Amino acid sequence: MKAFVISEYKGPLHLAEVTEPSVGEHDVLVRVQAAGLNQLDEKIRLGEFKQILPYKMPLTLGHDVAGTVIRVGEKVSEFKAGDEVYSRPGKKHIGTFAERIAIPDSELAPKPTSISMDEAGSLPLVALTAWQALVERGAVKPGQKVLIHAGAGGVGGVAIQLAKHLGASVATTASAANAEFVRGLGADTVIDYRSEDFEQMLSGYDLVLDSLGGENLEKSLRVLRPGGKAIGISGPPDPAFARGAGLNPVLRLAIAALSSKIRKQAKKLGVTYEFLFMHASGEQLRQITELVDAGTLRPIVGEVFSFDETPHALQMLAAGSIRGKAVIHTS
């Protein structure tokens, strides 16, 4: 079958013939009809995560999928051929830039019926990231104040909607051109990151979802109330992540060193910092499906590309020229 692969880190994404996926007893073989693109794809291509996510080459990229079930493993009971499904496959099962993919049934959920296949393909990674930051980690409650950076991006757009559903007051950073767009998603306060300093304008926040890292993360700590929490999805990774990932002692020490500065700053301010590398979950996707079909969450598709345009689409995403999610339409 055809797939877009990399043969080495920092090498180009290119079309190749690859082996058909094998279907284990708990696997579901899916015909890929839409595949969302994510910054994670580009970061893996560049080798930024090769120490903590070691992959064998050649590697088929792609972390989002929506499609139709072709067949299921002998122990799969919740899915059957013909079902429309979507997923963010786990780190051992990525490879959605392909014609077909085998996914464990625990990482799969029925596609929302109220949206298109392309819209469904845009959702899993960003929706799960928002869910795990705001619900699983943040436990956001009505009346709390939440700051979501990069509100016009893939994660940010879904996170704004979810935070509003949870009853929070939401601030976000965006360009002036995207101000009305993020207000339409539910943002109460919009800060133009090009001309305004969010640190000077905000205080007493319960939670910050940071997708930028660096100085932006450091400033985010200072807008939190005592006891507040900053969740970073760009890093740096923290010791809890290293333990959960089962990394060796040397890597654990290295990761602890990488995040020591930000953790010390957080402690001094009486707040906490956590790194989030989202995990696959069919169960959480089922809850997201309910929110989508209820009209609470809507996907934000910025641009749709053909399968042959996958390398170009990834380049455009990396350049930051797409608002919302970019999606590959494969059939």
Rounded to whole angstroms, the Cα distance separating 35 from 242 reads 29
* Residue carrying the six token digits 């001309």: 195
Cis geometry, peptide bond prior to residue 58 (ω within 30 degrees of 0) = yes
Q: Identify the DSSP state of 58.
A: S
Query: Does residue 150 sit in the same domain as residue 213?
Result: yes
Q: Which residues contact 160 (CB under 8 A, 6 or more apart)?
A: 148, 151, 170, 172, 182, 185, 186, 187
Q: Are residues 221 and 238 in the same domain?
A: yes
DSSP 287-327: HHHHHHHTTS----EEEEEEGGGHHHHHHHHHTT--SSEEE
Question: Is there a contact between 132 and 311 (Cβ–Cβ < 8 Å)?
Answer: no
Hey, what amino acid is at 48? E
In a domain, 293, yes or no: no
3-state secondary structure of 44: helix
Are 144 and 109 contained in the same domain?
no
Q: Where are the alpha helices (DSSP H) in 132-213?
A: 154-165, 179-185, 198-201
Q: How many CA atoms lie within 13 A of 91 on its CB side?
A: 13
Same domain, 212 and 260: yes
Give the relative orientation of helices 124-131 and 282-293 as an angle to the nearest 10 degrees. Answer: 100
Strand partners for 68? 31, 84
On the 0-12 / 13-18 / 19+ scale of CB atoms within 10 A, 322 is buried
Indicate whether 101 and 14 sit together in one domain.
yes
Check residue 324 and give its pLDDT. 79
- Domain-embedded: residue 135: yes
User: Looking only at Cα atoms, what is the longest distance across the chain?
Assistant: 58
pLDDT value, residue 246:
84
Domain co-membership, 183 together with 76: no
| Domain that residue 239 falls in | 126-275
Picking from 241, 193, 191, 232, the residue whose alpha carbon sits closest to that of residue 213 is 232
The answer on 145 and 237 residing in a single domain is yes
For residue 283, the surrounding DSSP H or E stretch is helix 282-293
CB-CB contact of 114 with 293 (8 Å): yes
Write out the chain's pLDDT in tens, 331 residues.
999 999 999 999 999 999 999 999 999 999 999 999 999 999 999 998 888 888 999 999 999 999 999 999 999 999 999 999 999 999 999 999 999 999 999 999 999 999 999 999 999 999 999 999 999 999 999 999 999 999 998 899 999 999 999 999 999 999 999 999 999 999 999 999 999 999 999 999 999 999 999 999 999 999 999 999 999 998 889 999 888 888 888 889 988 998 999 999 999 999 999 999 999 999 999 999 999 999 999 999 989 999 999 999 999 988 877 777 999 999 7
pLDDT at 30: 98
Residues 97 and 216 placed together within one structural domain of the fold:
no
Compute the distance between CA of residue 289 and CA of residue 111 in angstroms, rounded to an integer.
7
Residue 147 CA to residue 173 CA, distance in Å, equals 8
CATH number at residue 224: 3.40.50.720
Our count of domains for the chain comes to: 2
> What torsion, rounded to 10 degrees, do the Cα atoms 153, 157, 162, 167 define?
110
Alpha-carbon distance of 221 to 300, in angstroms, equals: 28
Predicted local distance difference test score (pLDDT) of residue 111? 98
60 and 130 co-located in one domain: no
**Does residue 286 form part of some domain?**
no
Same domain, 260 and 130: yes
User: 149 and 263: one domain?
Assistant: yes
Q: Are 97 and 66 contained in the same domain?
A: yes
Pairing mode, strands 14-17 and 108-110: unpaired
Query: What pLDDT does residue 53 have?
Result: 82
**34 in Cβ contact with 65 (< 8 Å):** yes
- Read off the CATH number of the domain in which 317 is found: 3.90.180.10
